[in-house]
Structures are given as C-alpha cells and as structure tokens.
Structure 1
Amino acid sequence: MHLVSRLLLLLAGLLVPSHGHLLPEPSSPGHPAHQEAPSIGEGSPSLKIVQGNTAFALRLYHLVASQSPGNNIFFSPLSISSSYAMLSLGARSHSQTQILEGLGFNLTEVSESDIHQGFQNLWHTLHLPRDGLEMHAGSALFLSQELQILPGFLNDSVAFYESKPFLADFHDSAGTTQLINDHVKEETQGKIVDLVSDLSADIAMVLVNYIYFKALWEKPFALSLTTPQDFYVDENTVVKVPMMRQDTEDHWYLHDRYLPCSVLRMDYKGNAMAFFILPNRGKMKQVEEVLTPEMLTRWNSLLQKRYFYRKLELHFPKFSISGSYKLDQILPELGFVDVFSQQADLSGITEEQKLQVSKSFHKAILEVDEAGTQAAAATGTFTAFLSTRHSRRVLWFNRPFLVVIFSTDTQSVLFLGKVVNPTTP
C-alpha cells in the first residue's frame, strides 16, 4: 500500500519570486526553456488549442452558473486550463486522458504534443510587450524538499509552461503558507492575498498558476460623466452604482435579431477586447443556454462588419467583483475524476510516493473603471428594468450581463463571467 501524498493546485495572478529557495531552471535538449519570438499568424501552434480551450471555458461556466444561480461569476478559464495541462505532463494512463479530455481536447484530432506546444506558444505570445496592456502569467511549483521530482517533468514544465520550481519545507506549515501567499500577492500586484491557509502535513507539492491583466480602453470614459444610477439586480433588488457614460463615440454593438440580447464589443489597447452581453429583461437564462463557442464565433464575425460600428449613447457601471471556486469539487463533474482520488496516477512527477490532488482553488478579481479593466486570477435571474428609452442607439447596462475578455491575436478567452450585482465584491 502506497503512502498517498497530497498535491495542492492553486490558480493565481503575477510573477516575482519572494523568500524561499528558487531551484535553477532545468533544460532539455528537446525542449529549450527560452524560445524565439512566437508565431502568431495563421498556422500558429496556439490556434490548435483554441477550440478546446473555448469549449472548456463555456462548459465550466455553465456548471458554475447552475451551482450558483443569482451570484456573480468570474474566473480565468485559461489559467485553469494551463495549470491542469501542465499537471498532465506528470499524469499517466486514465488520469492523463481524463485531464486532457476534460480540458476539451479531442485526442484523436490534437495530439498531446500539440497541446503543450500550443500552450507554450500562447503564453509566449501573451507576454509580448504591448502599449496600454499589461499582462503577466506563469506557474510556480512549490516542492517538498524531501520529494524527488523526475527530471523529465521539471524540464517539460519549465520549457512549456515557464514554471518556476521552489523547494519548501512542508513540515513548517506557517512558513510555507506565507511563502506561497507572498508569491501570489506579488504576482497579482497585491490583488489576491491569503490564497492558502492551513496546509496539512501530507502536502508534498503545491502548483500555482497566475494571470494578471490590466488594460486601457481604446475609448476611455470621462470621469466627469460618471454619476450614481440604479442597477436592477432582480425583480426585488435595486442598488446604486457609479454609472459611466459615453454619448459621442462610435462603438461596435448589435441587437441580436435571433436572441433576446444586445452585444457590445469594447476594444482595449494592445490586442485585447471584451464582449459585454446584455440580455433583455428576464432573459438571462435563455441567453446563457445558447452561450456556446459557435455563438461567440458568430458575434465576433458580426462585430467586425462596418454596419455594426455606430454612434451609441452608452451607460456602463464602474465596478469590482470577484469569484472564488473549489475546483476539486467542481471539475469531477467535467470528467476530472481520478486525479482527485486515490486512483490518481501521477507517477510522471515522482515514483517514490503516490500523489493525488487534495485541493484545488481558483480566485479571480475583475475591476472596471473609466480608464479600463484590471483582472487578476489566482488559484483560488430576472431583471426588472428599466429605462423608458427604447432607442436602438442607447444601451443601458443597468441589469445583469455577461462578460468575455479575449486576447485577439491568440483568439483565447482570458476571463469569463456574469455581473449580477456590481456592488458585491
């Protein structure tokens, strides 16, 4: 009977090593840790994983929405996907297959090698310097100093996922907890704190994945036009929010002729954009039901047509929301079964002890203001509207709406959520 050691997965937000022993980055002749500038055009390796990543993002959204009706939702599907794809490097047999298929990949169409090379190219692309957009993403492995990690796993995790390996003393629970939390806090620029608490003595490895995103609007809002306005959370709840306004700008937007919603495309500086999807009164559930990769593709295609670029009087809330999720309780519903049980085969990480994932946390924060958006992720309804103005040229985001934040050059969903009550942090 093997002694089972626990592996803790956390999803987080920015990158600077703090205290602790940072291991030298291993290198492999087959997988050099430092690559030349990535290709981002047609044929880019990252495009091979877009379909799977988007499918996973929306499957996870629907599951979270069904479990938390009436609540704000916000998470980074890309942060979660890359963390578990990295974990699959050390998984074997059914455990590996369940992880990769759970992440939305059809293994008869995309190979394991394609998946890891796709993530490698994707993260290199996202790290390219851009004016007006700040994005930091990466992974960190906190390893028990008593654990012998197989070189192949270390080499590949560094090469494909730029993972930073640290040695830690898990017998010193307080010290290791502070080490991990300090790292996450720094990497998310102080947005996510105290992600880890009460590390148990049988933890052998902690995997942290983080993404921090700060972007400026191509068309910022004027501070002087922000005023308190009503936001209709549901039929019985109205809250006051600072409502931003633009009334002289052209925007990409449409009123869907087949679905009860409007879709606004807002561009950021630096190759990123957001879709804000505003269901008609009482139609959130109906719109959520058709929120599919195909629908996102359809809206994206339509919102590149000049016809949908028109002058708009836009009213949009200034807000901050967050989402915290226990992925070890959620992901088994999406097929991740073995990895959270004693059936886990993570023998590609270490052969000396049997590992399984004990806990997996994800936390994400979204802030929207006149200048733009800040979002950090860490691993950790009816409407009663509204306005009497029904002009096709006026759009009031004063009831629950959906948000999708994209990287345009990688075609990847960075963040996904639902704003039900913008006054709830």
Structure 2
Amino acid sequence: MFKPLISKLLQLTALLLITALLATGCAPPAQDLMEGVAPSASAGESTNQELDQAILKSLNDFTWKLMKAAPQDQSNKMLSPVSVYLALAMTLNGADGETRDAMLETLSASDLTPEDINTFAGTYLKHVSADSDAFTLSIANSVWLREGFEADPEFLQKNADYFGAAVRSLDFNSPQAVEAINGWVSEATRETIDKIVEEIDPAVVMYLINAIYFKADWETQFSAENTYPEPFETPAGSKEVDFMHKLMTLDVVQDGLSKGILMPYVNPRMAMLAVLPEAGMTPEAWIQSMDAEKFNALLGTGTSKAIDLAFPKFEARYEDSLVDELEQLGMGKAFMPGEADFSLMQPSRAKDLFISAVQHKTFIRADEKGTEAAAVTSVEVSLTSMPMVDEALRFDRPFVYVILDTDTGTPLFMGVMNDPAAS
C-alpha cells in the first residue's frame, strides 16, 4: 500500500533538491545516548494510505510556502524543503501548546498530529535509502546535546525511533565541539557540505540536524565533446558558459506560464525538471504563481517529444537562515524567548527553551554524467535564561581580591572585601 507513495516521495525528494534552483583534528568524545536502546514497539510502519496522502499533501504545500517566502532577489538559490520539514518534525516532538500548533500550521499540517508525522517519516526513511555507483539517495538525522543538559528520554526516543537520529552528548565548551558536529555533516553529505555550525553560543543546548545527499547518473548521458561555451542571459547581462548538447526524446510539460522538460536519471523514478518561464517572467515570479495543485497539473501535461537540448553545466552553493521565512509562515512563537514552549524536551517540563536559529545549506552540481546535490538543515535550541554552567558561585560573603600581573604572577593590588556597601 505504501510503495506508490514512496515512489512519489522519492521523485519529490529529487525534484525538491534540484528544481528549487530555478526560482579531523582531534574532536572531543561524544557520548552516544541511545547506545543499547532498542526501537520502541510503537515505531511501526504506516499502513494508513489516506493519512499518508494527507502528510504528502502537507509536505507539498509546505514546499511552495517555503519557496515563496525565500528572498526574492535574482541570485542563485536552492532549498530542500524535505530537509527543512524533517528537521522541524524532529523538533516538533519537543513542542507543546501554542508552539506545537504554530509549527504544525507552518508545516501545513494543522489537521495532523506529531505522531502522524513521526509514523510517516519512519516508514519513508526506512524505504528511501539507495546506494550504488550510479544512484545514491540518503537521509541522515542527528541530535547533539550540550554535556550536562538533561533531555527528556521520550523526546530522544521518538527521534531515534522514527527519524533514525543519532543522539550524542558533547562538551559544547570544547573548541573542537564545532568540528565534531561539522564532521558528521561532512560525512553525511559525502564532503559536499563541510559545515553547518560556525560557533556555539553559551546558551545553546541542542542541535537537531538533517542531511540529504543525492547523486545520480543521467539515464542518457551527455558527451563532453558536445559541450562548448555559449551565451547565457543573466539578470546582469550576457555571459559565456559551458552548454551540454544532445538530441534526445524527453517528456515536455507546458502551461500558459512556462515550458519545461523532465530529464530522467538511471533510477526511472527520478528526474530533473527544468522549467523556462515565459519571456519576461522571472523564475521568482513563476514560483510565486505556483502552488502544489498547479505544479501537479503542470506535471500532468507531459508529452514525449524529440528535443535538441542545450543545457548549461553548473555548480552552485546556497546558504540561508530560515528564521525570517518561518516567522513569515506563522512559526514566530517558536523563536520567542519566554513564549516558546518546548517543555517536552526536558523531564522538568520547564518552558525555558526556544529555537535560536535555523540554518540551511545546499549544494548542486550538474554535468555530462549526472547530478550531485546535498542539503543540511540545523535547528538550534537555546536556553531562555542563563546558559548551562558547571557551577554557580556567589561572592556574597567576605572575599579576597587581587589585581595580578599574569606574566609574572605578581600581585599589583591585593585586598579583602568585607563590606561592599562601606565607602
């Protein structure tokens, strides 16, 4: 029952990763918090096709909402809505009250529950992985906790059960902590994205990270002998770029605003959709004109035709903080210290956590052989109040103070403070 949906989702994953472009040192040891923990019996596969369709609709709707909320400048850009959706879905397991409701609305899932999304994600992730010389698609998840921060076991269990998340406790104060997290990112994306974290603020207690990697050969590859420079009309003017050329039979899609082609990969369920908006219409304007229903209608117009194709080789990287976009989509409460409710992340049920950052990075390369693409989404969770500390120390009784020459160890001034109020 679930296989047709998996097929659609596999194709959707590839399309979302790719077509959006159109609009060790010595790391500190990380403790595996799920070592020896078996998956829960409740983490079974989805068997409700109607519910699966509802979640697939949620993912499609979220895709277009997120793309429309992206910056409308004329730069290269690429998002992976699937990566963002999964990272937020993991975070959703720790949300409660109005924060949970706002996140579900943002994910176009107001009629669904976190449990619905968990079950669907668990089934999807079990079926989606593929790895061969000609085709690879992998999705990995991880949760990184500040050493000493007590996370709710049920919250961690759900993300391990349904998202296959590796859960690690790490000394965030160590200078090598950033390297440890970024090392996981690099490995999960086959070194196409080398980092997602620049530095760790003392208030940060958790990272929830999703990584997607895709690599596939074209079903019919281009010949390097037929690649040569031709003009490409950029918004800033004409530039010479390398174009690949080939005569081939492809499915052509068309509506009143655009024409496009589906270029299949060796896995017949996968294809790159490339769309040319009508003359005078920018890719950004085309995206604004679309939604999930219109997009599906466009795909339904496919007609097989013989095409003399000229397609540019390209490689691009994109990075964006998604806080503005997600706030625009209704998730603002999750980013507000003192108002966000992520109480299900802690056994104490304290409401002292909020999302402090959502970072997103993507990479894509298209050449004669095929396409390689990757995406990483990191949800950073911080404490509203004071950051995690090893110990509290109050100088609330008489003490000694020293003004010290640290080069020589010589005290320049030394005193005793018995009464700070005395002059």
Amino acid aligned to 1:295: K
Amino acid aligned to 2:76: N
> How far apart are the structure 2 equivalents of 1:124 and 1:291?
31
Task: Note the 1:3-402 alignment, pairs <5 A.
Answer: 20-25=30-35, 26-27=37-38, 29-32=40-43, 43=49, 46-64=52-70, 67-107=71-111, 110-128=112-130, 132-172=134-174, 174-234=175-235, 236-247=236-247, 249-256=248-255, 258-259=256-257, 261-270=258-267, 271-284=269-282, 286-303=285-302, 308-342=303-337, 343-352=339-348, 354-379=352-377
> How far apart are the structure 2 equivalents of 1:205 and 1:364?
22
C-alpha displacement at 1:45, in angstroms? Answer: 5.9
**Structure 2 unaligned runs (5+)?**
1-16, 18-26, 379-423
Amino acid aligned to 2:322: L
With a CA cutoff of 8 Å and minimum separation of 6, indicate the structure with the bigger relative contact order: 1
C-alpha displacement at 1:46, in angstroms? Answer: 4.2
- Would you say the 8 A contact 1:74–1:323 is kept in 2? yes
- Would you say the 8 A contact 1:83–1:209 is kept in 2? yes
Query: What is the CA deviation profile of residues 243-274 of structure 1, one whole-angstrom value per residue up to 9, with x for unaligned ones?
Result: 00112x11111443x22x21111111222122
Amino acid aligned to 2:195: D
Number of aligned pairs?
346
- Aligned residue number for residue 404 of structure 1: none
- Would you say the 8 A contact 1:46–1:122 is kept in 2? no
Q: Percent identity?
A: 24
CA gap of 1:131–1:45, structure 2 versus 1, over 3 A, is farther
CA gap of 1:255–1:144, structure 2 versus 1, over 3 A, is closer
**Structure 1 unaligned runs (5+)?**
1-12, 381-425
Give me the TM-score of the superposition, normalised by structure 2: 0.77
> RMSD over aligned Cα, in angstroms?
2.2
Q: Secondary structure at the match of 2:243?
A: strand
- Would you say the 8 A contact 1:31–1:155 is kept in 2? no
- Would you say the 8 A contact 1:20–1:166 is kept in 2? yes
Give me the TM-score of the superposition, normalised by structure 1: 0.77
> How far apart are the structure 2 equivalents of 1:254 and 1:91?
41
Amino acid aligned to 1:266: M
C-alpha displacement at 1:129, in angstroms? Answer: 5.2
- Would you say the 8 A contact 2:140–2:188 is kept in 1? no
C-alpha displacement at 1:348, in angstroms? Answer: 0.7
- Would you say the 8 A contact 2:130–2:136 is kept in 1? no
> How far apart are the structure 2 equivalents of 1:226 and 1:137?
33
- Would you say the 8 A contact 1:145–1:167 is kept in 2? yes
C-alpha displacement at 1:44, in angstroms? Answer: 8.0
Query: What is the CA deviation profile of residues 157-180 of structure 1, one whole-angstrom value per residue up to 9, with x for unaligned ones?
Result: 1111111001101122x2211111
> How far apart are the structure 1 equivalents of 2:39 and 2:219?
42
- Would you say the 8 A contact 2:90–2:208 is kept in 1? no
Q: Secondary structure at the match of 2:344?
A: coil
> How far apart are the structure 2 equivalents of 1:199 and 1:255?
47
